[in-house]
A and B are shown apart, each in its own frame.
Chain A
């Protein structure tokens, strides 16, 4: 039996299973949080009981971190060059040598309570893109649990865009469906199925000729984005066993957002850029694309969990017995940085958004469990993927804390005997110097970030631009407070069985 037809395929949490499977899955849910807390508590314990070894570990870890920073900065630089190159290419001309007339783009724009301005800006950007509009199937996907608002959006969309695209459809995902979690996954899965029935089947459009883009509703595309996507799809080695990932650049409202929000947003972009150069680690994130045939075969996005964007990759990976990949587009799509009506609300929203992203840790038990159950995947692939995922989650929740908070712990807890050693005197100095060296990578970050900035709004002075450079000194704060802490929060919740629901990031733009 195909793995996708087993009861394990669409498991969302341990309670979806029974017996030994349930116990095993629950144990796997505990692993990431346990590792994170074990690391942090071990540093406390060894700082107290064996400060000499704790200090050596911290120094070696600092060196590892510096080298990792430089190592990853190579990838950032490499990807940045590719992005610049891709933005300068004439993709229309490239596509002129390829036959693609029969290809349709289904674009899913899920929303819950976002204003029409946000939806309109996305649709405007699609309309203003250079691709043939008749080949677009636009799906504006609302939620029935907010039906009045969804109906209003539908009316406005139909008024402004009904004649502009080949097909346009507004769907309302029903509320309270058994076994579903309200959120983006269940909404776009419903929207995709509705579109299949109402548009694809009725117009006899072959599933393999439809490329689905699941966008966040604030996604604004660059003029030749769809040409780039089409070219990558048509030239991919295994187009039906691939997802296609653009780089999310959160610059729609970057000039209005506070510095902390900007740094967090760009950090996410940079991480995605680095991942695009490390194909063995690349999974789908946020806005992404996949062929409808593939999507249909894997039963769309999972409806009973939060991180549908990355889970769809692992669903496809397990369904295809490990023969699945993500093709990096090295091409940006613009999205919103976190911005609320007040500074503190923005900070709160950033934290919640980061925690939701960190809740992607729910993929670990799913993958590990899937690897145990699916015997058709090579063991080496399983081990490699598990190590990548567990290392990713572990470093997310612990590394900034180890670097910026625990580096001095042996000196504080080590006692008199340790505090009279040369190592004890050198530890704070070495940690400080090593951290300063690793911060030099921020120059590259600042440089790349500047290149992604849209034109500054009128009236913004030189100080705004200087602030765009200086903001990078906030990195130790952002990676700790808006990185490690929400990461640890999410992993602890999973460990304790306190499952999170989908939290919709409020979209706010200053008028």
Chain B
């Protein structure tokens, strides 16, 4: 009796294994069962880097929202097709894109959202002698920070932190950011040609961000931005190798590299003739005599 019971138990476990394994495997690779036990292959969308508390919409339908513990969200079981993804959060620029979801594949939605009002911390030209705070009246001395930062803006070879460009082959000469000598961050090259900004992947195809790839070929050149106003300066936004910082016309703005028909420049500063500089991993802007530290 005991032996039969043991054999029966073994058979039951074996049957469970035989039944469960294919179901779990199919589900893991993105297949779902529809009515009548038909198997439907689905895909997914991986929404990353959205600020905590952002709401995610697919084709205008609310899907989920990000939280501290789940900033990156995988939306599963999407039928193959084109989806309009919209990410919103109060106080931030909305981000949207139109992405193609394919069978058993996950399309990445690399969100980049700046606050609608980026905080700029002014570096005063003068500070009071007594407590070091800025002042316009009374005893005042030149702010050494201002002097140092201004000096960086004045040089053609800026004091760029190694932290930012540790793997770069940046050419700090006058041809900075040209097709011949692009600005490099890792294996991504960035350059300016006339009023347009371009980016290209220079590494192995296998390592390339998906937006550089057309099938297995990842050597495409992406047109990042076409500017109406003359471009004064471009560079990668520190800590975001898929975002470009641009000084053009009377604005400084950030724009993602990836091909996204919906992408719009996200304004950081609007003035008269601003430019920017990276110092120690931070972004500083200068507009005539005004200098500020950008808090991102």
- Listed in ascending order, the chain A residues whose CB lies under 8 Å from chain B are 55-56, 59-60, 63-64, 67, 70-71, 74, 415-417, 420-427, 430
Interface pair A420/B106, CB less than 8 Å apart: yes
Chain B residues, Cβ within 8 Å of A59: 21, 24-25, 28
Q: Given A71-B13, A74-B9, A420-B105 in contact, is the A425-B44 Cβ separation under 8 Å?
A: yes
Contacts of A421 in B (CB 8 A): 29-30, 104-106
Would A60 and B105 be within 8 Å (CB), given that A67-B17, A71-B9 are in contact?
A: no
What B residues does A417 contact at CB under 8 A? 206, 216
Report whether A63 and B21 are in contact in the complex, using a CB–CB cutoff of 8 Å: yes
Report the nearest A residue to B27, measured CB to CB.
Answer: A426
Q: How many A-B contacts if CB must be within 8 Å?
A: 71
Q: Which residues of A contact B104 (CB under 8 A)?
A: 421-423
CB pair A67 B13 closer than 8 Å:
yes
- Segment 12-39 of B: residues with Cβ below 8 Å from A: 13, 16-17, 20-21, 24-25, 27-30
A55 → chain B closest CB, angstroms: 8
The A-contacting residues of B in range 194-216, CB under 8 angstroms, are: 205-208, 210, 213, 216
Q: Does B65 contact A (CB under 8 A)?
A: no
Q: Which residue of the partner chain, among B25, B46, B205, B210, contacts A425 with CB atoms under 8 Å?
A: B46
CB neighbours (8 Å) of B206 from chain A are 415-417
- B142 interface residue per 8 A CB criterion: no
At the interface, yes or no: B266 with Cβ under 8 Å from chain A?
Answer: no
- What's the minimum C-beta distance from B210 to chain A, rounded to whole angstroms? 6
What is the chain B residue whose CB lies nearest that of A64?
B17
Contact of B76 among A55, A74, A422 (CB under 8 A): A422
Q: Shortest Cβ distance from B159 into chain A, in angstroms? A: 36
Residues of A within 8 A of B205 (CB): 416
Query: Residue A416 contacts which of B17, B46, B107, B210 (CB distance < 8 angstroms)?
Result: B210
Task: Please state if A420 and B30 are interface contacts (CB–CB under 8 Å).
Answer: no
Rounded to whole Å, the gap between the CB of B58 and the closest CB of chain A is: 16
- Establish whether residues A422 and B25, one from each chain, have CB atoms under 8 Å apart when the complex forms: no
Beyond contacts A423-B28, A425-B46, A427-B28: 12 other A-B pairs, Cβ-Cβ < 8 A, are: A56-B28, A60-B24, A60-B25, A64-B17, A71-B13, A74-B9, A421-B29, A421-B104, A421-B106, A422-B42, A422-B104, A423-B104
Q: Chain A residues with Cβ under 8 A from B208's Cβ?
A: 416
* Chain A hits for B30, CB < 8 A: 421-423, 426
Q: Is B118 an interface residue (CB 8 A)?
A: no
The 3 closest A-B pairs by CB, nearest first: A422-B30, A426-B28, A423-B29
Question: Can you list 16 A-B contacts with CB-CB less than 8 angstroms, sorted by A residue number?
Answer: A56-B29, A59-B21, A59-B24, A60-B21, A63-B20, A67-B17, A74-B9, A415-B206, A416-B208, A416-B210, A421-B30, A422-B44, A422-B76, A424-B106, A426-B29, A426-B76
Q: Residue B74 at the A interface, CB < 8 A?
A: yes
Q: With A and B bound together, what is the CA distance between A102 and B253 in angstroms?
A: 99
Q: Does B43 contact A (CB under 8 A)?
A: yes
Given known A416-B206, A430-B24, contact A422–B106 (CB-CB < 8 A):
yes
Shortest Cβ gap from B150 to chain A (Å): 44
Measured between alpha carbons, how far is A430 from B44 in the docked complex, in Å?
16
A427 to B76, CA, bound (A): 13
Q: Separation in Å of the A165 CB from the closest CB of chain B? A: 38
Contact partners of A71 in chain B: CB under 8 A = 9-10, 13
Within 8 A of A (CB), among B201-253: 205-208, 210, 213, 216
A64: B residues at CB distance < 8 A: 17, 21
Q: How far is the CB of B43 from chain A (nearest CB, A)?
A: 6
Among residues of B, the one whose C-beta sits closest to the C-beta of A416 is B206
Within 8 A of A (CB), among B58-83: 74, 76
Contacts of B43 in A (CB 8 A): 422
Q: Contact between A425 and B9 (Cβ–Cβ < 8 Å)? A: no
Most buried by B among A59, A70, A421, A427: A421
**In the complex the two chains form, what is the Cα distance from A60 to B16 in whole Å?**
12
Report how far A423 CA is from B31 CA in the complex, Å.
Answer: 10
B210 with A420: CB separation less than 8 A: yes
Bound complex: CA of A172 vs CA of B17, how far in Å? Answer: 55
Q: How far is the CA of A70 from the CA of B9 in the complex (A)?
A: 11
Give Cα A421–Cα B208 distance, bound, in whole angstroms. 15
In the complex formed, the residue of A with least CB distance to B218 is A416
CA distance in complex: A416, B213 (Å)? 10
Residues of the A chain whose Cβ atoms lie less than 8 Å from the Cβ of B213: 416
Nearest opposing residue in chain B for A419, CB measure: B106
Complex interface: chain A residues within 8 A of B17 (CB): 63-64, 67
Most buried by B among A63, A74, A416: A416
A302 to B132, CA, bound (A): 87
- CA–CA, A452 and B17, complex, Å: 33
Q: How far is the CA of A200 from the CA of B115 in the complex (A)?
A: 93
Q: For residue A423, which residues in chain B have a CB less than 8 angstroms away from its CB? A: 28-30, 104
Q: How far is the CA of A430 from the CA of B20 in the complex (A)?
A: 13
Q: What residues on A are CB-neighbors of B42 within 8 Å? A: 422
- Find chain A residues with CB under 8 A from B29 CB: 56, 421-423, 426
Q: How far is the CA of A415 from the CA of B204 in the complex (A)?
A: 11
Closest to A62 in B: B24
Complex Cα spacing A63 to B25, Å: 10
Q: State A390–B254 Cα separation when bound (angstroms).
A: 61
Complex CA distance for A426 and B74, rounded to whole angstroms: 9
Q: Which residue of A lies closest to B213 (CB)?
A: A416
The distance in angstroms between the C-alpha atoms of A424 and B27, with both chains bound, is 12
Q: Which of B80-109 contact A (CB under 8 A)?
A: 104-108
Q: Would you give the shortest CB distance from A438 to chain B, in whole angstroms?
A: 13
A74 to B46 Cα, complex, angstroms: 41
Complex Cα distance A60/B107, Å? 26
A416 to B106, CA, bound (A): 11
Cα distance A425–B104 in the bound complex, in angstroms: 10
Q: Tell me which residues across on chain A come within 8 A of B74, comparing CB atoms.
A: 425
- Whether A416 pairs with B207 at a CB distance below 8 angstroms is yes
Residues of B within 8 A of A56 (CB): 25, 28-29
Q: How far is the CA of A70 from the CA of B20 in the complex (A)?
A: 15
B210: nearest residue on chain A (CB-CB)? A420
Q: Which of B104-123 contact A (CB under 8 A)?
A: 104-108
Q: Kindly list chain B residues whose C-beta atoms are within 8 Å of the C-beta of A67.
A: 13, 16-17
Question: Shortest CB–CB separation between residue B99 and chain A, in angstroms?
Answer: 12
A44 to B46, CA, bound (A): 26
A424 to B20, CA, bound (A): 20
Q: With the chains together, A422 CA to B103 CA distance in Å?
A: 9
The minimal Cβ–Cβ distance linking B22 to chain A, given in whole angstroms, is: 9
Task: Note all chain A residues with C-beta closer than 8 A to B108.
Answer: 420
CA distance A424 to B210 in the complex (A): 15
Asked whether, in the complex, the Cβ of B28 is within 8 Å of the Cβ of A430, the reply is yes
Q: Which A residues are CB-close (under 8 A) to B16?
A: 67
Alpha-carbon distance between A64 and B74 when the two chains are bound, in angstroms: 26
Q: How far is the CA of A55 from the CA of B26 in the complex (A)?
A: 12
B121-157 CB contact bits vs A (8 Å, 1 = yes)?
A: 0000000000000000000000000000000000000
Chain B nearest Cβ from A24, distance in angstroms: 33
Query: For residue B20, which residues in chain A have a CB less than 8 angstroms away from its CB?
Result: 63
